[in-house]
Amino acid sequence: MSYNVIAYQVDKIKIKEIWGSNNNEFSDYFLNKYKVDIEEQLSWFEIEEDIYKNCLNDLIKGKITQEPDLNYIFGYIYEMLCQEFGEMIKHADFLSILEGVTEDNYKAFIPIPKNEDWPEFYSVEFENIENSRKLFLDVNEEYAKKVDYINQVNLIFNTALKNKKDIVFFGY
């Protein structure tokens, strides 16, 4: 269960191109660009920087070799990839859970391992935006009937449609 949901409009093709690319230059660039974010997370999780580097390199090599207890790191890297190849869709707080809305809280454009904790993520291909919008609007929960919820869902999906982008939701 999440407490806050963030949405990004992204270029899924660019994200998919990372998987198995063997692009070590991208790894160096990425680790440098997101150094502050990574360092902050290192202090939260009390892990070494090499763990982040190894997880990113697994994505770049197209083969997951890290221990399952580190799966959550891939979710945080996935969000940084969404920042790199997209932008956050500004919206008001409207949804505190993905669970119960989506059929799977761990759907990514690349084959990253599912974690047992945060972040949750749910990726929507541009071609499936209208079906996914319906999924979000047809939730059989009281909050889904509120005008604010409906307006925010439509804002997110309309923004991505207008810009011809895919969407990735993250739940924390």
- The per-residue pLDDT for range 76-109, each reduced to its tens digit, is 999 999 999 999 998 776 665 555 666 666 789 9
**How far is it, in rounded angstroms, from Cα 57 to Cα 66?**
10
For 106-158, the pLDDT digits (tens) are 789 999 988 777 788 889 999 999 999 998 888 887 877 888 888 989 999 99
Contacts of 6 (CB under 8 A, 6+ apart): 79, 88, 169, 170, 171, 172
pTM of the model: 0.90
What are the tokens at 82?
A: 């969404």
